Structure 1
Amino acid sequence: MPSARSQPKPGNRQRIIEATVKLMNEHGGAVGTSQIAEFLGISPGNLYYHFRNREEILRELFDGLTRDLDEVLRVQPGESIPVERLVSCYIGGSKVLWRYRFFFASATDFISRDESLAKKYQEFSARSKSYMRLIIQGAVRDAPGLCRPTVRECEHIAETMWVVWVSWPRYSELSMPGQLLGESDIGRGLEQISFLLSPYLDAAYYQKTKRQLHRFVAELQRDKS
């Protein structure tokens, strides 16, 4: 295996992907192909050799987003969900949200312009909510609280969590006009989302989860300052 020092540099295709993520996170979803090419110091023709238009770039980015979140949330029916597993889902989900925050801030615009992306988004949303329901069911089964949610209620909780998760970047931007969004601002949404499960979990289990999430967000805030 080659050492990290000898790893080949990413080709232009991957550089285009990473540049698009960076520019859209910094300047919003209106960034176009000419701005991406200019940022990279390549010709528009070079960019169009790899991607015919901006929509193709966004589709590939979205494929990366779905792979990253699937890896975080993927669980099997009946799988045990100890505190560490639940916390890893929250933190992993926060990191995915931070990397692709531009997509969720501009999702309506993106999917309204691209029918195939809209279909992919609906499938992604349904699959993610299904994973979240399984995670919730496992957690409340392993560490039940005073309230015992039904399967249907777990579906409702999962959908509510999903709505908060996908809406958090836009909410954070609107709450901080004129300020740069930091990873800790995205991470703060973890504590809001985790609170939704508090009535359904054993108090000790929930408090341990809460402490670990608070520690993670506090570390992000220290890094920001």
Structure 2
Amino acid sequence: MALPRSKPQNDNRERILEAAIALMNEHGGAVGTSQIANHLGISPGNLYYHFRNREAIMRELFLRLTDELTQVLRTAEQDDITADYLASCFTGGARVLWRYRFFFAVDFIRRDEALAESYRALSHKCKAYMHIIIRGALRRAPGRCSATPDECERLAENMWVLWISWPRYTEIDGNHSTVREADIWRGLEQIAFLLSPYLAEDYFAQIARRLREHA
């Protein structure tokens, strides 16, 4: 009789990361390694075999956040920014931020200088991509208001700030203990609204329609 195959060690590593995401989204940044191990029904030693401490888990998760968000926003100057393309950037980015929302709803990044430095790099990269996307959209479908390159850069920064601060805002304003998915999609509509004066009405209507389909 064939013996049952043991699961690869990488499976446990993935389970630890997924458990950390779930627990931190539910309980916030106070979640520690013992809670993650208890949640999975594994020994602390098993967890420490894969991650030496909580900070190592956080850094790994932040790398994944960076990779996933960069894949969504990565745009070249020559890319055609259609309404569907812009809407997909909004919705794809929202899904990533929803998955890793604990990073932006709880203030613990700056407790780890390496993580804080990674956050600054991500912020810079995302604002640069958003700047390219905005300029491309305005070239393709200019609206009633125009914007200089400098103003496009400011719009990109405003959008990024609104994007990452929305979870905390909705927790306080809505008096929730946790951020709900519906709150994220409402925030997405607010972010898109920043561009409405600068885009042609029919182009922006297509974007709004796409966002409502995902809400």
Q: If the length of structure 1 is used for normalisation, what is the TM-score?
A: 0.89
Query: Paired residue for 1:138, among 117, 131, 136?
Result: 136
2:18 is matched with: 18
Is the partner of 2:208 in helix, strand or coil? helix
Quote the Cα distance in structure 2 between the aligned partners of 1:50 and 1:208.
46
Runs of 5+ unmatched residues, structure 2: 1-6
C-alpha contact (below 8 Å) 1:70/1:128 kept by paired residues: yes
Aligned residues: 209
Measure the CA separation in 1 of the matches of 2:8 and 2:47. Answer: 20
Aligned equivalent of 2:109, options 105, 108, 111: 111
CA drift of 1:63 comes to: 0.3
RMSD: 1.6
Q: CA deviation at 1:181?
A: 3.1
* TM superposition shift of 1:110: 2.4
Distance 2:143 2:33 in 1: 51
Q: Does 1:94 align with 2:94?
A: yes
Partner of 1:204: 202
Distance 1:38 1:146 in 2: 57
**What fraction of aligned residue pairs are identical, expressed as a percent?**
58
In structure 2, the residue matched to 1:70 is 70
Give, in angstroms, the shift of residue 211 of structure 1.
1.6
What letter matches 1:138 in structure 2?
Answer: G
- 5+ long unaligned stretches in structure 1: 1-6, 218-225
| Distance in 2 (alpha carbons) for counterparts of 1:192 and 1:178 | 19
Q: Aligned residue for 2:3?
A: none
Aligned equivalent of 1:186, options 177, 184, 187: 184
TM-score w.r.t. length of structure 2: 0.93
* Paired position in structure 1 for 2:45: 45
In structure 2, C-alpha distance between the alignment counterparts of 1:115 and 1:180, rounded to whole Å:
26
Aligned match of 1:195 in 193, 196, 213?
193
In structure 1, the partner of 2:4 is none
Partner of 2:154: 156
Kept after mapping to 2: 8 A contact 1:90/1:190: yes
Alignment-derived partner of residue 85 in structure 1: 85
Which AA in structure 1 matches 2:84? E
Output the CA distance in 2 between the equivalents of 1:104 and 1:181: 11
